[in-house]
Chains A and B, each alone.
Chain A
Amino acid sequence: MRILDPHIHMTSRTTDDYEAMYASGVRVVVEPAFWLGQPRTGVGSFTDYFDSLLGWERFRAAQFGIRHHATIALNPKEANDPRCREVLAEIPRYLLKDGVVAVGEVGYDSMTPEEDEVFAAQLQMAREAELPVLVHTPHRDKLAGTRRTLDVVVESGLPPERVLVDHLNETNVAMVLDAGAWAGFSIYPDTKMDEDRMVAILQEYGTERMIVNSAADWGRSDPLKTAKTGHAMLAAGFSEDDVDQVLWRNPVAFYGQSGNLVLEPVPGFTEGAPPTPGVEFEGSSVLRGARA
């Protein structure tokens, strides 16, 4: 089972997670820029975060045989803080960078006018950078939020096949598929979706334009939910090819629109072998104890 986890916040995860993910079949991840729990108060903490997504985290993932990519954006929650909105001026230069495969996560949290403005501005940045867009749908008032999201996308002139609308469930999947966008599902231990509900949705709507992620982050979550969904699909009678489509080919096709996805195995990586000693990023290593 080969897996591209199209939405996972590895910054918040451990090296044990990387090892377990590799063992479960994960070879490529995409880490969307998002909020960190602790609110940011200025542009500098965003740019350091973006740099770490493109630098340190990519290095860390490679030590465990996993190709790491990022999506860059000002998230909707922090779009409401004027001190954070200044980061919008910095985002276009990040969208050019190697390994940036989409603009995201953008969308709505509380559906304020500020969120509207920041969402629309970043959709235009995506058009200019010719990147796809990862859209977060709100946790509260999800149905109305999804409808409004799709309206804003249409207004922006962005082709719907360049948009992945995430955190969907039974109530809003049809709306997204009908609009021609990609449908994303975050499989969580308790809330949002679980594996069995996901399998039922795939049985009802098929496997075209359907994308599954773990969205694992600093909250209760499970970075192996992609693999677990694959196994649940097989147990329910889906074929290996169906699983490959949902867990690999679909996210590859979506993010591949960036022309910036690297899928080759990490050179020199051997499964089960410890990370190479002496290899460091900016003076830090994933190893502990004695070093070369």
Chain B
Amino acid sequence: MNTDSNVAAGTGAGAGDQPGSGWLAQARAEVARDPDSVTRAFAFTARRVGRAPRRPGTDPAGVVHGTVDDAARAALVVALADAVGTGPDCAERLVSLYRQGDAAERRGVLRGLDALTERGDLGGSETVTDTVTARDATAEPAAGPAPLVAAGLDLAADALRTNDPSLVAAAVGPFGSRYLDQHTWRHAILKLVFQGVSLDAVSGLEARADDELDRMARDFAAERQAAGRPVPADLDRLTTTPLSSTPLSRTKE
């Protein structure tokens, strides 16, 4: 029996710098040979590579920038896409990993979509549109979004509904920044502020922030002040002029 190893999460094969990197390399190779093995690897990831935050200094809970197991699962998603391509089969597999996964596994799928987005490999060229309506109006009826993008948008929508801060944060990375429609994206950003999660979680914040988000941030600040509650400092990042320098000065609790 292995009662000594039952607590430790980072007991990898010893290769590489990070605990568990040997295991991860093996698991990726296994996914390349047998794509179905990703299900088991996804379930075991945290036990093999650990659950530590990626940037413990600024993000001790691993909510904003994710955890080492998030990053490892993202690498498994990339290995899966390399093995089965970025078509409907991959989309179906990611949806299943997400739906049958616990919260950590779900983050892994979302962060995997981020990794695929960053290397420009989602099998399509869907562009950011202003609203759902605008998207519908401009979509080419024959083509539509690539299967991975469509699946990813469904999963991101699910993550944003949960109110689990780590899932919301994982839904506004490069994938969300690139593909969420503007209305959904704005609400995701405000939700992070509401939950007290640093906007450092958001990929491409400055590029996508707009006047409407500025208005929503100001309204939210006013609502907080009316209730005599503190105004989150991150709201300043959403407005063109700092809220703290306007007459709506920050309240103290």
Contact between A96 and B44, CB atoms less than 8 A apart: yes
Count B interface residues, CB 8 Å.
27
Known: A161-B1, A282-B162. A263 touches B102 (CB 8 A): no
Please report the C-alpha to C-alpha distance between residue A246 and residue B194 in the assembled complex, in whole angstroms.
45
* Chain B residues near A268 (CB-CB < 8 A): 61
Contact between A98 and B46, CB atoms less than 8 A apart: yes
Contact between B43 and A259, CB atoms less than 8 A apart: no
Contact between B100 and A93, CB atoms less than 8 A apart: yes
Could you tell me the dominant secondary structure of chain A's interface residues? Answer: loop
Which candidate, A214-222, A234-242, A249-257, is the interface stretch facing chain B? A249-257
Please report the C-alpha to C-alpha distance between residue A71 and residue B61 in the assembled complex, in whole angstroms.
27
Contact between A280 and B104, CB atoms less than 8 A apart: no
Please report the C-alpha to C-alpha distance between residue A94 and residue B56 in the assembled complex, in whole angstroms.
30
Please report the C-alpha to C-alpha distance between residue A268 and residue B47 in the assembled complex, in whole angstroms.
21
* Chain A residues near B5 (CB-CB < 8 A): 259
Task: Give 1 or 0 for each of B105-140: 1 = CB within 8 Å of chain A CB.
Answer: 000000000000000000000000000000000000
* Chain B residues near A259 (CB-CB < 8 A): 2, 5-6, 47
Interface: B226 (CB within 8 A): no
Known: A98-B102, A98-B104, A256-B2. A93 touches B46 (CB 8 A): no
- Among B72-113, those with CB < 8 Å from A are 100, 102-104
Known: A96-B43, A264-B7. A280 touches B163 (CB 8 A): yes
Known: A259-B2, A263-B7. A283 touches B43 (CB 8 A): no
Please report the C-alpha to C-alpha distance between residue A280 and residue B39 in the assembled complex, in whole angstroms.
27
Known: A93-B39, A259-B47, A261-B7. A283 touches B163 (CB 8 A): yes
Partner of B161, one of A263, A279, A283: A283
Known: A97-B43, A283-B162. A267 touches B61 (CB 8 A): yes
- Among A51-106, those with CB < 8 Å from B are 51, 54-55, 93, 96-98
* Chain B residues near A281 (CB-CB < 8 A): 103, 162, 164
Please report the C-alpha to C-alpha distance between residue A174 and residue B104 in the assembled complex, in whole angstroms.
43
Please report the C-alpha to C-alpha distance between residue A193 and residue B212 in the assembled complex, in whole angstroms.
65
Contact between A256 and B1, CB atoms less than 8 A apart: yes
Partner of B40, one of A96, A256, A282: A96
Interface: B196 (CB within 8 A): yes
Contact between B43 and A263, CB atoms less than 8 A apart: no
Partner of A278, one of B47, B103, B195: B195
Interface: A258 (CB within 8 A): yes
Contact between B2 and A257, CB atoms less than 8 A apart: yes
* Chain B residues near A287 (CB-CB < 8 A): none
Contact between A55 and B102, CB atoms less than 8 A apart: yes
Task: Give 1 or 0 for each of A265-292: 1 = CB within 8 Å of chain B CB.
Answer: 0011000000000111111000000001
List the A residue with the shortest CB-CB distance to B195.
Answer: A278
List the B residue with the shortest CB-CB distance to A95.
Answer: B43
* Chain B residues near A279 (CB-CB < 8 A): 165
B77 to chain A, nearest CB (A): 17
Partner of A55, one of B43, B61, B103, B194: B103
Residue with the greatest number of chain B CB neighbours at <10 A, chosen from A255, A256, A258? A256
Known: A268-B61, A282-B164. A256 touches B46 (CB 8 A): no
Task: Give 1 or 0 for each of B152-171: 1 = CB within 8 Å of chain A CB.
Answer: 00000000011111000000
* Chain B residues near A263 (CB-CB < 8 A): 6-7
* Chain A residues near B194 (CB-CB < 8 A): 292
Please report the C-alpha to C-alpha distance between residue A161 and residue B1 in the assembled complex, in whole angstroms.
9
Contact between A258 and B6, CB atoms less than 8 A apart: yes
Interface: A201 (CB within 8 A): no
Contact between B7 and A98, CB atoms less than 8 A apart: no
Contact between B1 and A253, CB atoms less than 8 A apart: yes
* Chain B residues near A261 (CB-CB < 8 A): 6-7
- On A, residues with C-beta under 8 Å from B are 51, 54-55, 93, 96-98, 161, 252-253, 255-264, 267-268, 278-283, 292
Q: Which 7 A-B pairs have the closest CB atoms?
A: A256-B6, A96-B43, A256-B3, A283-B163, A261-B6, A257-B1, A280-B163
18 A-B pairs (CB sep. < 8 Å):
A93-B43, A96-B44, A97-B43, A97-B102, A98-B104, A252-B6, A257-B1, A257-B2, A259-B47, A261-B6, A261-B7, A262-B7, A267-B60, A267-B61, A281-B103, A282-B162, A282-B164, A283-B162
